Amino acid sequence: MLYNVLAILTGFLLLIWSADRFVCGAAAVARNFNISPLVIGIIVVGFGTSAPEMLVSAIASLDGSPGLAVGNALGSNVTNIALVLGATALIKPLDVHSRILKKEMPVLLLAMLLALVLVLDKNLGRSDGLILITSLVVIMWWLIHQALRNREPDAMQVEYEHDLPAAMPMPRALFWLLLGLVVLLASSKLLVWGAVNIAVSFGVSELIIGLTIIAIGTSLPELAATVASALKNEHDIAIGNVVGSNLFNILAVFGIPGLLAPGKLDADVLTRDFPVVFALTLALVVMAYGIHKAGRINRIEGGILLLSFFAYQALLFHHVSGAHS
């Protein structure tokens, strides 16, 4: 048991470090090719902060644990909205000014609806996975097109210009990009190994482990990035980190087990977990969108989000306790 716990803790630490190095190297490579800071932010940073979830999902699926991958995708979205944004808004209320972000939030809600419609048959198949991942590519293209079409600088673009890593020589950028990717792969494998062993030892479903331990751990990069952005008054990036990450989670991370390990979903995914993720996504859009004014997530709303996170964890704990009684 000790080895399993050490594997999970070591995997999390290496995952956080390697995700940061991967994003830093990828952003520097993109800058060296004179790619727009906003495009780097939407694509490179969005992909990079979701890389832990994607790799954990892929490795879990290939290792025959698709429930862990599904739990990771849905649990990460719950954690990002309820814990990450909730805690951040308690520390510093978040204002939304970015036009791009206001277009991205309803798209996230539509992506949730798409995923739900595809799995109403309680099956996550290869065609479902392909549709989800293709949708992500289309959405990213559309967001970039929208960003580059507007001549006036977007609020998020200004923030990204100040926030992206400084210029870096190409050899060093490629070094951090490749090293980050290699360590991401190794730490994801270590994390999945420890998590599956603990699930087996305690007789807990892999779905529950994915929704809790793995989801919280793989969301730590988002928590660090979001709090840091809020403290620097980069509110649009703070919320954009979560919205972008959740888009990748529901379309790519959730789609990966469909491609690599298609099969039936646990019944609780549709009756318990999807409704929670959808409700939190809707709450985020309502709180942060704003009609004819800047959207805002205040401290009271942040507190509500945070309480909902703990309530969901209590629900999962009750489910596990009930299953063992």
pLDDT tens, residue order, the chain (325 aa): 788 889 988 988 888 888 888 878 888 887 788 777 777 777 777 777 788 889 899 999 999 999 999 999 999 999 999 999 999 999 999 988 877 788 888 999 999 999 999 999 999 999 999 999 999 999 988 888 876 776 666 666 666 666 666 667 889 888 988 998 899 889 888 989 998 888 888 888 889 999 998 898 888 877 887 888 888 888 888 888 888 889 999 999 999 999 999 999 999 999 999 999 999 999 998 888 766 566 789 999 999 999 999 999 999 988 877 666 5
Q: What letter does residue 115 receive in the DSSP assignment?
A: H
* CATH, residue 273: 1.20.1420.30
pLDDT at 104: 87
What is d(CA 75, CA 30) in angstroms, rounded to the nearest whole number?
A: 30
Evaluate whether 85 touches 302 at the Cβ level (below 8 Å): yes
pLDDT at 295: 79
Residues 6 or more apart whose Cβ sits within 8 Å of residue 154: 38, 98, 99, 100, 147
Cα-Cα-Cα-Cα torsion 221, 167, 170, 58, nearest 10 degrees, comes to 20
pLDDT at 67: 93
Look at the chain and report how many structural domains it folds into: 1
* Total residue length of the chain: 325
Question: How far does Cα 23 stand from its chain's mean position?
Answer: 14
pLDDT at 82: 96
Q: Report residue 276 as tokens.
A: 């929670």
pLDDT at 166: 64
Domain range for residue 290?
Answer: 2-324
Best CA proximity match to 108, nearest among 234, 220, 236, 251: 251
pLDDT at 276: 96
DSSP strand pairing (263-264 vs 295-297): unpaired
Evaluate whether 266 touches 205 at the Cβ level (below 8 Å): yes
Q: Report residue 82 as tokens.
A: 């309820």
pTM of the shown model: 0.88
pLDDT at 294: 66
Locate tokens 């992909």: which residue?
47
What is d(CA 135, CA 250) in angstroms, rounded to the nearest whole number?
A: 10
- Number of C-beta neighbours around residue 321 at 10 A: 9
Evaluate whether 96 touches 294 at the Cβ level (below 8 Å): yes
Evaluate whether 188 touches 59 at the Cβ level (below 8 Å): yes
Question: How far does Cα 181 stand from its chain's mean position?
Answer: 17
pLDDT at 39: 75
Residues 6 or more apart whose Cβ sits within 8 Å of residue 226: 84, 85, 88, 238, 239, 241, 242
The one-letter code for the residue type at 74 is L
Q: What is the pLDDT of residues 256-304, one digit of tens each?
A: 999 999 999 999 999 999 999 999 999 998 888 766 566 789 999 999 9
Best CA proximity match to 154, nearest among 226, 105, 96, 100: 100
Evaluate whether 265 touches 116 at the Cβ level (below 8 Å): no
What is d(CA 193, CA 293) in angstroms, rounded to the nearest whole number?
A: 48
Cα-Cα-Cα-Cα torsion 29, 31, 32, 35, nearest 10 degrees, comes to 110
Q: What letter does residue 280 receive in the DSSP assignment?
A: H
What is d(CA 219, CA 119) in angstroms, rounded to the nearest whole number?
A: 24
Exposure of 279 in the CB half-sphere (CA atoms within 13 A): 13
What is d(CA 262, CA 132) in angstroms, rounded to the nearest whole number?
A: 13
pLDDT at 154: 67
